[in-house]
Amino acid sequence: MTLVKTLISLVLFSAGLSARPALADPIASWDAVGYIGENATVSGRAALTFMRSGEVYIDLDGQGESAPLVGYISRWNRTKFQYLSSLNGKMVEMSGRIATFRGQPEIFLQDPGQITAK
């Protein structure tokens, strides 16, 4: 084997070792911080907060700043999510692009298909 083929094999092998698990599988809410900027499905126990403004926050595995991930529903999208109260305290999965808001991982929920009870 030539030196070039050996180097290519080594690079491909090491790339395979550092690959992340397939994002089709849910990740734990605590791991969401490592997926900022990526699309993922995140699993955790939901704690809902309904704001007077119409916004809804779905904290996973905590509440407020102690939650490792927050799902955010704007007041403009709120009417699409009729079943939210039934999710409080249940295990859920949220899917979408993980961004940050005030340093906390967050998924902006625009479609009811982005959240399911487990």
Average pLDDT, the chain: 85
* Beta-strand relationship, 91-101 and 39-50: antiparallel
Please write the tens of the pLDDT for every residue from 42-86: 999 999 999 999 999 999 999 999 999 999 999 999 999 999 999
The pLDDT of residue 4 is 37
* Beta-strand relationship, 56-60 and 39-50: antiparallel
Is 50 exceeded by the pLDDT of residue 19? Answer: no
Residue 18 pLDDT class (50, 70, 90 cuts): very low
The pLDDT of residue 3 is 39
Spans of all domains in the chain:
22-117
Question: Dmax of the chain from CA atoms?
Answer: 68
Q: 20 by DSSP, 3-state: which?
A: coil
The pLDDT of residue 57 is 97
The pLDDT of residue 24 is 67
The pLDDT of residue 10 is 38
Q: Give the Cβ contact number of residue 100 at 10 Å.
A: 13
From the number of C-beta atoms within 10 Å of its C-beta (0-12, 13-18, 19+), residue 5 rates as exposed
User: Of the candidates 39, 88, 51, 46, which has an alpha carbon nearest to the alpha carbon of residue 69?
Assistant: 46
Distance of CA 98 to the CA centre of its chain: 5
pTM of the model: 0.79
> Which residue would you say has higher pLDDT here, 47 or 15?
47
Alpha-carbon dihedral sign for residues 78, 82, 88, 90: negative
Q: For 101-109, what is the mean pLDDT?
A: 96
The CATH code for residues 22-117 is: 2.40.50.140
From the number of C-beta atoms within 10 Å of its C-beta (0-12, 13-18, 19+), residue 59 rates as buried
